[in-house]
Structure 1
Amino acid sequence: MAASLKNYEKKYKALEDVVRQLNDDDLTISEMLTQYKKGLTLVKECADMLNSVETEIQQIIEEVRISE
């Protein structure tokens, strides 16, 4: 879990960097499009990771309920 947390934090930081770059007025349209695509990919990857953790938490909760 610690490794996946570090991976999530790394991806989230990369997403923050993309947002900062998109707010930069010096980018060309082509560079903006490239960064936008990269940002969407990172958003999906972060969401998938969060969904996976949520599923794992739900499984743990169910296991605890069953054993009570």
Structure 2
Amino acid sequence: MANTLKSYEKKYAALEEVVRNLDENELSISELLAQYKKGLTLVKECSEMLQSVEGEVKQIIDEVRIGE
């Protein structure tokens, strides 16, 4: 799970950088489009990672409840 957290943190940091680029820089239309696409990809990847971890947490909770 530690690797997942580091990977998530890297993707999230990259997403923050994309947002900064979109907000602060004067980019050409093609650069804006590329940054937007990269941002959407990162959002999707982060969301999938969070859903996976959420599933693992639910599984752990269910296992603990069964053991009670």
Count of paired positions: 68
2:12 match: 12
The residue that corresponds to 2:59 in the other structure is 59
Q: Which residue of 2 aligns with 1:35?
A: 35
- AA at the equivalent of 1:16: E
3-state SS of paired residue (2:17)? helix
How far apart are residue 67 of structure 1 and its match?
A: 1.0
In the TM superposition, residue 30 of structure 1 has moved relative to its aligned partner by 0.6
CA-based RMSD? 0.7
The offset of 1:64, in angstroms, is: 0.4
TM-score calculated relative to the size of structure 1: 0.96
CA distance in 2, matches of 1:41, 1:11: 10
TM-score, normalised to structure 2's length? 0.96
Letter of the aligned partner of 2:39 in structure 1?
G
Segments of 4+ moved more than 4 angstroms: none
Question: Helix, strand or coil: the match of 1:23?
Answer: helix
